[in-house]
Chains A and B, each alone.
Chain A
Amino acid sequence: MPDFTRLHAHEMSRLLRAGEISSRALTEAHLAAAERQNGALNAWLTIYRADAIAQAGAADARIAEARRAGPAALAALHPLCGVPVALKDLVSVKGGQATAGSKILRGYIAPFDSTVTARLREAGAVILGKTNMDEFAMGSSTEHSAYGPTANPWDLTRVPGGSSGGSAAAVASYHTPLAIGTDTGGSIRQPASMCGIVGLKPTYGRVSRFGIVAFASSLDQIGPLARDARDAALLLHAVAGRDERDATSAPIPVPVELLSLPESDDEAASYLKGLRIALPREYFVEGMEPGVAARIREAVAAMEAAGATVDEVSLPHTDYGLASYYIIAPAEASSNLARYDGVRYGFSDRSSGEFIADYLRTRGGGFGPEVKRRIMLGTYALSAGYYDAYYLKAQKVRTLIKADFDAVWAAGFDAICAPTSPTVAFPLGARTEDPVAMYLSDACTLPINMAGLPGAAIPAGLSEGLPVGLQIVGAPWSELSMLRLARAYEGITARAPWRALEPAELHLTDDPTTPSPVGRRQRTASASAEGSGVQA
């Protein structure tokens, strides 16, 4: 038997049903890895050891019962029964802390399960714990967490991406085969890309957001992070679908074919024959690293060689995406975060005894710098006299961005392929003092949120020893086709040498003398404090 932590979720599922392994043993192996390596990675904020073992025991009982009852009962079990999963720390788990990476929610205990949590429980998945993230999902590096940054297992001095950086690092480090993230402007895809794993942001409305801490409600979506396309499909299947408690979840059927993506590489690769792929010229942006552009072009060339037709297209409003996104997202955030008033839950400073002064202290003391910046931007953009120039204008630009994509689908293309991030993972501390440089990290992902489309990041090799992610964008509700394409690319690259590589510095995390990224950040912060500071 191999190391359990190296198994994919679909392999675990098969072995569990065959009675060859137990969920208890799988769960123990993953908990041990997470606990041993978290000091050096800071990927986890909470590990539910006792509860996870209890869930695993329950899953083992369900599987044993189904095995006794016969093949039909076994087939009725969800494939994730007994399989470990991690949740980003903005997903509510009844009785557990949900900080959203913020000091203002330190100690907040969720009084109910999110719909995603409830559906995972129903499937029988084992929830291992909660992962680190940029505060309120605002960030591209996980450095804006009030609980310290997460390190990238490929290079411990670099960021894992963000905001779902804890989820991405945990999956890449074999602490869990699966994790849930959220993506408002790239927060699943960009960390998946930087950690060398698969991440999928589904179509807006595909997954219920009930019980998830809100950031920007017209953009937020929940999705899977995994080490391959088949695993991502299993997790999406478990959590997707209409939910009465989220009126923005769509009554679109969830395809059962997500459970049976091809096992054989050749069969998977045959999906590429005749497929029409669009390559948007605007996504090879200025400032893109040549190594990233090269890996993306090679990936697309490999698909072409396997039978796909590739044509360059134009998405002419791409250059307006960043500005319009950074109006709409902060505007909605400023409204959503008005709820943190120190009255019903969360951090509360009542030291002055005066209503407005306490309100100012609670929010001023509870939110971190990036969240304050976005609340300020959003409040300004929505304030009297500026609404038309900013928020309304940005919403009109969103119409144009969406129309760019609609034209690609109308022209008969099946998918768009593009880079996920213009760069590989950057060093911890490199962009924390320059918000605009941090925002540029999402230039290739945020237009997809603006258009409400599904987007995936899949590993496409390395540049300078660090992972590069290919982004696949599909038409609304086409997640199944996108994952078939992702699986096809896995099929044609199954024997590529980079496929066999594990994160280069993962072994260092077993060494208790390896410094934690929290300490690393403090060192970089004191170094940059001597520099010029704000760039205006």
Chain B
Amino acid sequence: MAELTRADVEHVAHLARLGLTEEELARLEGQLNHILDQYKVLATLDTAHIPPTAQTIELQNILREDAVQPSLAVDEALANAPERSGDHFVVPAILGGEGGA
């Protein structure tokens, strides 16, 4: 399996939306490659005809009545928000330009 380069580490960090310092990136490159080395043992196992297991209990299609239930009040739901405006969470502007905010 592949060896992670510094560029790969930066790419994965961006995919994961993790802002990392230079020092963290350098440490992670070494540590992640060391961990990926441990994964190599899996390649020695032939699993071509083995089905995957996503979860271990045999529950499927758990349904319930589509009934209205009480939920959190607006103030309770917003109580932990870093920033609110009226009855809304304030989300950082995703699109720039006029009216973007």
A residues bordering B, Cβ < 8 Å?
Answer: 108-109, 111-112, 203-205, 218, 244, 247-248, 250, 317, 319-320, 322-324, 326-327, 334, 338, 341-346, 348, 350, 353-361, 363-365, 367, 369, 372-373, 375-377, 379-380, 383, 386, 389-390, 392-400, 402, 435-436, 439, 451-453, 476, 533-536
Task: Indicate whether A379 sits within 8 Å of B15 (C-beta atoms), given known contacts A326-B38, A400-B47.
Answer: yes
Q: Say yes or no: A344 contacts B92, CB within 8 Å.
A: no
Q: Say yes or no: B91 contacts A396, CB within 8 Å.
A: no
A395 to B80, CA, bound (A): 36
Task: Indicate whether A109 sits within 8 Å of B57 (C-beta atoms), given known contacts A320-B41, A323-B41, A323-B42.
Answer: no
Contacts of B34 in A (CB 8 A): 435-436, 534-536
Q: Say yes or no: B80 contacts A394, CB within 8 Å.
A: no
The residue that A355 contacts in the complex, of B50, B83, B93, with Cβ under 8 A, is B93
Query: Could you list 14 examples of A-B contacts with CB < 8 Å?
Result: A111-B76, A203-B57, A317-B45, A320-B42, A324-B42, A327-B39, A343-B91, A345-B82, A355-B93, A358-B92, A383-B12, A395-B53, A400-B45, A452-B57
Chain A nearest Cβ from B53, distance in angstroms? 4
Contacts of B32 in A (CB 8 A): 373, 376-377, 380
A79 to B78, CA, bound (A): 38
**What string of 1s and 0s marks CB contacts (under 8 Å) between B56-70 and chain A?**
110100101000000
Since A109-B79, A376-B28 are in contact, a sample of 4 more A-B pairs with Cβ atoms closer than 8 Å, ordered by chain A residue number, is: A250-B57, A350-B92, A372-B24, A373-B28
Chain A nearest Cβ from B100, distance in angstroms? 10
Q: Say yes or no: A111 contacts B12, CB within 8 Å.
A: no
Chain B nearest Cβ from A79, distance in angstroms? 28
**Interface status of B7 (Cβ within 8 A of chain A):** no
Q: Say yes or no: B19 contacts A361, CB within 8 Å.
A: yes
Contacts of B13 in A (CB 8 A): 376
Q: Say yes or no: A376 contacts B56, CB within 8 Å.
A: no
Main secondary structure of the interface of A (DSSP, over half): helix
Main secondary structure of the interface of B (DSSP, over half): loop
Q: Which residue of B lies closest to A533 (CB)?
A: B27
- The 5 A-B pairs at the shortest CB distance, nearest first, are namely A452-B56, A364-B19, A360-B19, A395-B52, A345-B80
Task: Indicate whether A402 sits within 8 Å of B56 (C-beta atoms), given known contacts A323-B42, A345-B80, A535-B34.
Answer: yes
Q: Which residue of A lies closest to B77 (CB)?
A: A111
A16 to B36, CA, bound (A): 55
Q: Say yes or no: A396 contacts B52, CB within 8 Å.
A: yes
Contacts of A534 in B (CB 8 A): 27, 30-31, 34
Contacts of A345 in B (CB 8 A): 80-82
A466 to B45, CA, bound (A): 38
Chain B nearest Cβ from A322, distance in angstroms? 7
A323 to B43, CA, bound (A): 11
Contacts of B47 in A (CB 8 A): 393, 396-397, 400
Q: Say yes or no: A380 contacts B12, CB within 8 Å.
A: yes
Chain A nearest Cβ from B76, distance in angstroms? 5
The residue that B59 contacts in the complex, of A248, A319, A453, with Cβ under 8 A, is A248
Q: Say yes or no: B17 contacts A363, CB within 8 Å.
A: yes
Q: Say yes or no: A218 contacts B55, CB within 8 Å.
A: yes
Chain B nearest Cβ from A284, distance in angstroms? 19
A485 to B32, CA, bound (A): 41
The residue that A394 contacts in the complex, of B20, B24, B42, with Cβ under 8 A, is B42
Q: Say yes or no: A350 contacts B19, CB within 8 Å.
A: no
Chain A nearest Cβ from B97, distance in angstroms? 13
Task: Indicate whether A204 sits within 8 Å of B56 (C-beta atoms), given known contacts A322-B38, A364-B20, A397-B42.
Answer: yes
Q: Say yes or no: B18 contacts A355, CB within 8 Å.
A: no
A317 to B45, CA, bound (A): 9
Task: Indicate whether A397 sits within 8 Å of B45 (C-beta atoms), given known contacts A345-B81, A363-B18, A379-B16.
Answer: yes
Q: Say yes or no: A398 contacts B59, CB within 8 Å.
A: no
Contacts of A453 in B (CB 8 A): 56
A346 to B45, CA, bound (A): 42
Contacts of B20 in A (CB 8 A): 364, 372
A225 to B82, CA, bound (A): 35
Chain B nearest Cβ from A353, distance in angstroms? 8
The residue that B50 contacts in the complex, of A319, A367, A400, with Cβ under 8 A, is A400
Contacts of A383 in B (CB 8 A): 12, 15
Contacts of B41 in A (CB 8 A): 319-320, 323
The residue that A350 contacts in the complex, of B38, B79, B82, with Cβ under 8 A, is B82
Chain B nearest Cβ from A323, distance in angstroms? 5
Chain B nearest Cβ from A364, distance in angstroms? 3
Q: Say yes or no: B55 contacts A375, CB within 8 Å.
A: no
Chain A nearest Cβ from B10, distance in angstroms? 11
Contacts of B16 in A (CB 8 A): 334, 363, 375-376, 379
